[in-house]
Amino acid sequence: MATRTAGTSGDQPRKKTRRKRANNEGTVYQRADGKWCGQVYVLTADGTEKRKTVYGKTADEARAKIEEMKIKSRRGVPAADRAWKVGDYLDYWLQDVARHSIRKTTYAKYETMVRLYLKPALGRKKLDRLTVAEVQTFLNSKLNGEGHAIGTVHVMRNVLSAALTRAMREEIISRNVARLATLPAVDAKRNQPWTADEARAFLRVARYDPLYPAFVLLLVYGLRRGEALGLRWVDVDFDEGHVHIRRQLVRVGKELHHGPVKTRAGNRSLPLLGVVREALEIQRDGQKILREEAGKDWTDTGLVFTTRSGKPIEPRNLARSFARIVETHKLRPIRVHDLRHTAASLLKKLGVAPRDAMEILGHSRISVTMEIYTHGDGESRENALKRVTGLFE
C-alpha cells in the first residue's frame, strides 16, 4: 500500500485567498482626511448605471448608505443624476414645470415667493438633505421674526411643497419635508354676502354707471371679475339666448392678459336671462356711440366692456367703481368679489341644487360649492330657531 511521504503536495498547507467582491457590491475606503467614502454603481434616471459616491463618519455609516442605494436600485428607484441645491431646483421647477402647468397669475405669485423668500433662505442647501427642522425654522422666522401675514407664509410653504412634490415624482428625494412643517391655521374672515334686498338696492343706484351691465353679470351669474371683463361679443348669442363664458381678463405683472378661463369647469354656457339681455343691449348701444366718437382712434378688441377708446378695462378700476358706488350711497360695504358669494347664497336660498349651482358658478369641485351652501348666516339661523320654538308654542 502506497504511503505519502513528507514534502508531497498533499501535505502542503492551503493558501488563504482574498474573497473576490461580487459585481456591484461597492467599495468602502478611508480618505486622507479621515472621512470614509463609499462607491457603488446604481441605476440613474436616464436608465443607465453610474458610479455614485457617499460619505460617512465611519466605515459602517458609509457601508450602510451603499446598501440603501443598492436596495433602491434593485427596486428600480433611480438615483439623482446631479447633486441639486434647493435654489437650482426651484429655478428648474419654475421654468420647466410650473410655467407650463399653471395660470400666468399663479406663476407670477410662485416666482415672487421663490425669488424673495425661498431662495435667499434655503437656496444654498442640498435638496436631498433638506430637513423638516430647517423648513420649520424658516417658516417661523417669516411668521414671528419678520412679521409676515400668516396667509403669505402659507403661500411660501405651499410653493416649496409643490416643488418638493415634483422632486419626489422625479425620485430625487424620498419625502416632502415642507408638508411635515406646521403653521397656524389661516383665520378665513369672509364678508357676509348681500341679501336680495341689498343686491336690488345696489343695482338701482348703479343703473347709470358705465359698468352697470358688468355688475349685473356679477350678481346674476356670479361671474368672476376677470370673466366679466374678458367677455367678447362673439360669446353673446342674442338669437339663441346664451352667454358663453370662455375667456378672462387678468393682470399679470405689468400687462393685462386676455386668455382662457381659470379651469375647464369655468368654460360654461348660461342662458341669456331678461335682465342680462337688457343690460347687454344697453352696453352694445353705448359702445356703438363710443366707437363713432373715437373714430380712427378706436381699438377693436371685440370685448363687451372697454374704455372709451375700445381697450380692455383694468380689473382694479371695476373694483374702484364698485367701492365708490357703495360708499356714495351708504350701502353695507363688501368687496366686489363678494358679489360672487352673494350670487351663490341667493341660489342656495332659492333651493337650487348644489350640482346646478356648481355648473352656474363654474366651480371645478363640488366641495367648493358645498362650502358656500353649508355656510350659515344670521337669517337662516333665525328661521331655524323660529321653527324650533314653534314646536313649543
pLDDT for position 309: 94
How confident is the model over 211-235, as pLDDT tens digits? 999 999 999 999 999 999 999 999 9
Residue 298, CB-side half-sphere exposure with 13 Å CA sphere: 15
In this structure, are strands 242-245 and 236-237 parallel, antiparallel, or unpaired? antiparallel
> Which distant-in-sequence residues (6+ apart) come within 8 Å of 354 by Cβ?
366, 369, 370, 373
CA separation for the pair 317, 314 (Å, rounded):
5
Name the pLDDT band for 90 (thresholds 50, 70, 90): very high
CA-CA distance, 222 to 361, in Å (whole number)?
6
- What pLDDT sits at residue 18? 42
- Is pLDDT larger for residue 199 or for residue 389? 199
Is residue 283 within 8 A of residue 213, CB to CB? The reply is yes
Least confident of 93-97, 99-103, 184-188: 184-188
Q: Are 38 and 56 in contact (CB under 8 A)?
A: yes
pLDDT of 245-298, one tens digit each? Answer: 999 998 877 788 888 887 888 889 999 999 999 999 999 999 999 999 999 999
Give the range with max mean pLDDT: 62-76, 114-128, 370-384: 114-128
Task: Retrieve residue 193's grid coordinates.
Answer: 354676502
Structural contact between residues 220 and 343, judged by C-beta atoms closer than 8 angstroms: yes
Residues in Cβ contact with 369 at an 8 Å cutoff, skipping those fewer than 6 apart: 344, 354, 355, 357, 358, 361, 363
22 pLDDT tier (thresholds 50, 70, 90): very low
**pLDDT, position 377:** 63
User: What are 271's three cell numbers?
Assistant: 342662458
Characterise 206 by phi-psi region: left (phi > 0), alpha (psi -120 to 50), beta (else). alpha
Query: Mean pLDDT over residues 328-333, rounded?
Result: 95
Alpha-helical segments (H) within the chain: 59-74, 86-96, 104-113, 119-122, 132-140, 150-169, 177-180, 196-205, 212-220, 225-229, 274-294, 315-328, 338-349, 354-361, 366-373, 378-390
Lowest model confidence (mean pLDDT) among 6-20, 135-149, 333-347, 355-369: 6-20
Rg (CA), the chain: 33
Whether the CB-CB separation of 252 and 338 falls below 8 Å is answered with no
Residues in the chain: 393
**Residue 156 in 3-state DSSP?**
helix
Cβ neighbors of 42 (< 8 A, separation 6 or more) are: 49, 50, 52, 69, 70, 72, 73, 78, 79
Which one of 137-141, 188-192, 253-257, 366-370 scores highest in mean pLDDT?
137-141
List Cα–Cα distances, 174 to 77, 136, 170, 207, 227, in angstroms: 10, 18, 10, 59, 41
Q: Are residues 189 and 156 in contact, defined by beta-carbon separation less than 8 angstroms?
A: no
Does 8 have pLDDT greater than 50? no
User: Which range among 153-167, 170-184, 360-374 shows the weakest confidence by mean pLDDT?
Assistant: 360-374
Residue whose entry in the numeric block shows the C-alpha cell 369655468: 266
pLDDT exceeds 80 at position 387: no
- Kindly report the pTM of this predicted structure: 0.66
- Structure-block grid coordinates of residue 148: 409676515
Q: Which CATH architecture has domain 196-381?
A: Orthogonal Bundle (1.10)
Highest mean pLDDT among 299-308, 340-349, 361-370, 375-384: 299-308
| Fold of domain 86-180 | DNA polymerase; domain 1 (1.10.150)
Question: Above 80 in pLDDT, residue 74?
Answer: no
Q: What is the pLDDT of residues 30-42, one digit of tens each?
A: 888 888 888 888 7
> Residue 376 — very low, low, confident or very high, per pLDDT cuts 50/70/90?
low
Average pLDDT over residues 92-104: 88
Over 50: is that where the pLDDT of 6 sits?
no
